[in-house]
Amino acid sequence: MSEIGTSTPVPSSAPAVEVDGLTKRFGARTAFEDVSFAVQYGEVFGFLGPNGAGKTTTVRTLGTLLEPTSGRATVAGLELRPDNGVEIRRRIAVMPEAPGLYLRLSVAENLEFFAGLYELDDRRARIERALRAVNLTDRADELCRTLSKGLRQRVGLARALLSDPRVLFLDEPTSGLDPVAAREVHDLIETLRSRGVTIFLTTHRLAEAERLCDRVAIMNTTLRLIGSPAELRDRLFSKSVELRVREPLPDPERVLGALPGVESWSAGPDAAGTYLLAVADPDQAASAVARAVVDAGADLLALTPSRHSLEDVYLQLIDTDVEASSR
């Protein structure tokens, strides 16, 4: 029996999802506007943004639940058009934020229903495979109303995996889960990624996106930024090294100002004896800085490259938006 994510052949060159100038309005309200991006097959693509940024509406639009107001998109090789709706939905799976299970039915009965809606052959085998993928084989006969929130989320994932979708849309899959349950979902997404499943992941959890996603897009009605987490960090923050010495340097400009690879320096904001150095390459600069500080007779306490997280990138971007909108 094949494993989840390995049985659906996918075209290699065309993107799994390609969006060009897509806009969705509800009357006068704009949910998202002029959004363009592409997701390659086998990629885990993170879709980030504050509440009301248009993330879920984008997923619903790409999942053919909502019709775009303007723009074009291709999903799983098919143009997003009304007459392609059924075929697109056959090729994708969407797991909404709330798993939406029939609580009076058992886990297996829920999956059996959806297997019927996808007109799947060998349903029993597929259900077993999906349950095995989320470690729920022993819960197949339990009613969904008796399951914890984390287990329900896993049933929702199993349901999304049933049809071996070419593109899997996960809308906040760890929302409301405790850390252990969230980690189980992360592990599952990593397993799916290793098997080449294309995942479009909407999330609020920036650490989750940083850990799981090959690339992320940050939305705030319009697409603000797109790239790998490392690219986004580089784009928004200059690289720097933080230097800590026991006593403040008597003439820091003499010690730090002319070092190769150090573009500029400033005194650290928190404590005397701390300096922030803007550098081109933190690794190269660090050894030169260490030598210079020791040669100057100072006691070196720490020399650390500054690490900006995806959260820093996100907050920087959203803060900019908030400032711009308040002007």
Q: Among 103, 125, 280, 315, which residue interacts with other proteins (rule: CB under 8 A)?
A: 103
Q: Among 48, 94, 241, 262, which residue interacts with other proteins (rule: CB under 8 A)?
A: 94
Task: Kindly tell me which of 57 and 220 has the beta carbon lying closer to other proteins.
Answer: 57
- Which residues is 29 bridged to in the sheet? 26
Q: Does 75 bind other proteins (CB under 8 A)?
A: no
Q: Among 41, 45, 114, 265, which residue interacts with other proteins (rule: CB under 8 A)?
A: 114
Place of tokens 């992360």: 186
Q: Does 107 bind other proteins (CB under 8 A)?
A: no
Q: Which of residues 137-176 bind other proteins (CB under 8 A)?
A: 156, 159
Q: Does 82 bind other proteins (CB under 8 A)?
A: yes
Task: Kindly tell me which of 109 and 214 has the beta carbon lying closer to other proteins.
Answer: 109
Q: Which of residues 20-49 bind other proteins (CB under 8 A)?
A: 26-27
Q: Among 1, 12, 51, 83, which residue interacts with other proteins (rule: CB under 8 A)?
A: 83
- Among 110-118, 216-224, 286-294, 309-317, the segment contacting other proteins (CB under 8 A): 110-118
Cα torsion 169, 174, 176, 182 to 10°: value is 160
Q: Which of residues 239-268 bind other proteins (CB under 8 A)?
A: none
Using H for helix, E for strand and C for coil, what is the string for 74-137? EECCEECCHHHHHHHHHHEEEECCCCCCCCCCEHHHHHHHHHHHCCCCCHHHHHHHHHHHCCCH
Q: Does 66 bind other proteins (CB under 8 A)?
A: yes
Which helix (H) or strand (E) segment holds residue 162: the answer is none
How many other C-beta atoms can be found within 10 angstroms of the C-beta atom of residue 28? 5
Task: Kindly tell me which of 100 and 250 has the beta carbon lying closer to other proteins.
Answer: 100
Q: Among 117, 207, 301, 322, which residue interacts with other proteins (rule: CB under 8 A)?
A: 117
- The H helix count followed by the E strand count for the chain is 11, 14
Q: How far apart are the first and last CA of the chain?
A: 60
Minimum distance from residue 177 beta carbon to other proteins (Å) = 16
Contact 146, 170 (CB under 8 A): no
Task: Kindly tell me which of 90 and 239 has the beta carbon lying closer to other proteins.
Answer: 90
- Which residues neighbour 327 within 8 Å (Cβ) at sequence distance 6 or greater? none
Q: Does 320 bind other proteins (CB under 8 A)?
A: no
Q: Report CA-CA distances (Å) from 18 to 37, 202, 213.
A: 6, 16, 17
Q: Does 125 bind other proteins (CB under 8 A)?
A: no
Counting Cα atoms < 13 Å in the Cβ hemisphere of 42 gives 10
Q: Does 311 bind other proteins (CB under 8 A)?
A: no
User: Which parts of this chain interact with other proteins (CB under 8 A)?
Assistant: 26-27, 57, 60, 63-67, 80, 82-83, 85-87, 89-90, 92-96, 98-105, 109, 112-119, 156, 159
